[in-house]
Amino acid sequence: QVQLVESGGGLVQTGGSLRLSCAASGRTFSSYAMGWFRQAPGKEREFVAAISWSGGGTLYADSVKGRFTISRDNAKNTVYLQMNSLKPEDTAVYYCNVGLSITTMKATGPLYDYWGQGTQVTVSS
């Protein structure tokens, strides 16, 4: 059974930074893309960033491009999201998931219809 455990969220001021982590278990994910999504109150969950199985390819939502960096450690089955220059509109619960490719993750969503508990990111103005 796939398990996704997100961590690293918190409360920061505008302009601050956070690093999110997602530990995946239940199978080997080294041949899959991994990515981050977020859901703000009253809004639908949206794509944030994705990284290819090798780490050589990345894709970002326009709203976070240049501020967020996704990375992964296949030996640890873990994906990270470094978030810099945070803005109040980044406030949301952040989730990770697995996908067939970075383009499909952005276009149609993740491979699994299973979500972990997420990690709350709150950016104060």
Q: What is the mean pLDDT of residues 35-64?
A: 97
pLDDT band at residue 2, thresholds of 50, 70 and 90?
Answer: confident
Q: Which residues contact 105 (CB under 8 A, 6 or more apart)?
A: 33, 35, 47, 50, 59, 97, 99
Give the model's pLDDT for residue 39.
98
Of residues 8, 2, 1, 3, the one with CA closest to residue 71: 8
Question: Encoding tokens for residue 58?
Answer: 């990345």
| Mean pLDDT of the chain, nearest integer | 95
Of residues 67, 70, 47, 66, the one with CA closest to residue 57: 70
Q: What is the mean pLDDT of residues 85-89?
A: 98
pLDDT band at residue 89, thresholds of 50, 70 and 90?
Answer: very high
Strands 78-83, 10-13: parallel, antiparallel or unpaired by DSSP? Answer: unpaired
Q: What is the mean pLDDT of residues 42-46?
A: 96
| Whether 99 contacts 111, CB under 8 Å | yes
Q: What is the pLDDT of residues 15-33, one digit of tens each?
A: 999 999 999 988 878 889 9
Give the model's pLDDT for residue 44.
96
Give the model's pLDDT for residue 113.
84
The helix/strand/coil state of 75 is: helix
pLDDT band at residue 81, thresholds of 50, 70 and 90?
Answer: very high
